[in-house]
Amino acid sequence: MLLRSSPPANMPKMRRSWRAKLVVLGVLATGYGAFMWHMMHSKPPVIMERVLIPVDVVKEKKQAEPPAPPAPPIPLIQPPHVDLPPPVIHR
């Protein structure tokens, strides 16, 4: 297929709403790309420091509680019998 500088005359035109959506999508993608480039290539304005927060990590030992009683058995019930005639297939 040869590349042409203009589309053929019988090619349907794109509606304006789609063009506007594509322009907005392009602007958003460009803005996101510029923001990510800025975040990756700029030097951090403040040097990150390690902050130590005093926290007790070890829990206090509690008295041993008795184990819970076992769950009662669940009785299994058979589903009701459904008697349906087989479908009739006409060929």
pLDDT by residue (tens digit) across 7-24?
777 877 777 788 888 999
Q: Which domain holds residue 39?
A: 16-43
The average pLDDT across 53-65 equals 76
Nearest to 37 by CA among 29, 45, 26, 25: 29
The average pLDDT across 61-74 equals 87
pLDDT by residue (tens digit) across 31-49?
999 988 888 877 766 566 7
Is residue 71 one of the residues assigned to a domain?
no
Is residue 28 one of the residues assigned to a domain?
yes
Is residue 2 one of the residues assigned to a domain?
no
* Cα angle for residues 11, 14, 15 (degrees, 5° grid): 140
The total domain count for the chain is 1
